[in-house]
Amino acid sequence: MLLLAGETSGAAVPDDNGGSGIVHPPRWADGSAPRSWGTSSTGTQEELKRRAESEPKQLYSVRAEDRSGEFSPLAFNQPAPATLDECRAYFDTHPDVPVTQYKNRLAMCQQYTVVVPFLDCSTNPCQELGSQSFRVIMVGNGSIGKGGIGEREMIFQLATDRPATTGAVPPPNERVKFSVECLPNDGPACEWDNHHAFSWEPSLGELRELVPMVSPTFRFMDRTAEGIDPDEQNFFALAPKISHRHLPAGLLGEDFIVRCDQAAYLGGGSCLYTGIQPILEYKRTDFPQFTQHLADAQSGDMSLTKPGINGKEIPGSLRSEKPLTRLYSGHDQVWYDRNNAIAVANCKLHWGEDYPNNHPEYKRDCDEYPFRSTHEGAAYNEQMGIDSKWSYSSRAIHREDNRAAGRALNNFYNTEHVVHGDAFWVEVID
């Protein structure tokens, strides 16, 4: 957790007696200057998307699983939500992690320590007589498979604990206002469900005595009928906000980007976080021939692969530092088919025209990595019109092994809501 900061900042405002005082606002205890709420835009949708794509990413692992017969989107298990207790326990046992922590693409935790000063403004400037501090934990959970207008949502909740006072104790009836705010942008407006809370205003006395103290829920919604890109994506920057009588404009925490979409091929849409990427992990013993091919392709030794072009590399692993990005055939059938055509031609060249049937013990498929359903597949350089260092590998392997691995990949796309253009990583585990 971040250490308490001692700085104060502010401008002259009338105090409660009509005089002039110096604002000493509540402050995040993170050692940085407080950031006030403003009306300047966070940018266009395209600018927010570029920011979302370029921001540093946290990572989480997803086990590749073949779930035959579960291909209705409604049957998919969504990534597990986060709870306030889980967030609190994580921050308690990981004291030096950043303010924002993602569990997966749908679940996020934040923590702050807030210091509220107790001021005597009978003189100018105001004098700080004491202060009250407390920790704030926020949890936010997104949604998958809610495609109707108004159904793409994210639910937030806050809790406070660790109250402490220094010097004179602030009056117990003073209130602090908490909310989750959508920063202005040049695109669609944020909406909040009026059946849930818009803000939470506990008193300082309650924050001292009720531990933990838990807010009502705040429900963010994207009701926009249209967005950018084929999946009607909308991007929003949100942040927690705290207000106090000496800071009417409010103080913002660390903002984060939420993306909502209407991808019908993934069950109807979602609202999720862009600050985290999944790692798809294939266990070696679950798909033996497939994972051997994958391990060889990611090894960096091109002699283990076909076509095995010297000086080339194959992306997708963390070692390669280049993720894969999903290619949905409904958005670019030509690229999708060219990936397969080039990979199959390579299999025929090295394993024979009749490679599906010429093995004495089993039928074979042409396995291709990077996958046919990624932009980085066999046609990457052709479709990009470049001659990059990136290449591919294809191999004739056991048909059932290949198809089981393919079902696991499709399951991953659906459970983690990986839309066209979304980045992810692939690894082999023991």
The span from the CA of 54 to the CA of 251, in Å, is 26
Question: Is the confidence at residue 188, as pLDDT, over 90?
Answer: no
Three-state DSSP state, 13:
strand
Could you count the other beta carbons within 10 Å of the beta carbon of residue 203?
16
For the whole model, what pTM was predicted?
Answer: 0.88
Q: Are 328 and 375 in contact (CB under 8 A)?
A: no
Sign of CA dihedral 311, 312, 317, 322: positive
Could you tell me how many helices (H) and strands (E) the chain has, helices first? 7, 22
118 or 413: which carries more pLDDT confidence?
413
* 82-89, Cβ contacts within 8 angstroms, sequence gap of 24 or more: 82/107, 82/108, 82/109, 82/139, 82/140, 82/141, 83/139, 84/137, 84/139, 84/157, 84/159, 84/212, 84/214, 86/139, 87/111, 87/137, 87/138, 87/139, 88/137, 88/159, 88/161, 88/212
Question: Is the confidence at residue 415, as pLDDT, over 60?
Answer: yes
Domain layout of the chain by residue ranges: 12-274, 280-429
Q: How far is CA 219 from the centre of its chain?
A: 18
Rounded to 10 degrees, the C-alpha dihedral 176/177/178/179 comes to -170
Q: What average pLDDT score do residues 144-153 get?
A: 70
Predicted local confidence at residue 289, as pLDDT: 98
Q: What is the pLDDT of residues 374-409, one digit of tens each?
A: 999 999 999 999 999 999 999 999 999 999 999 999
Q: What is the pLDDT of residues 317-367, one digit of tens each?
A: 999 999 999 999 999 999 999 999 999 999 999 999 999 999 999 999 999
Predicted local confidence at residue 244, as pLDDT: 83
Q: What is the pLDDT of residues 93-114, one digit of tens each?
A: 998 888 999 999 999 999 998 8
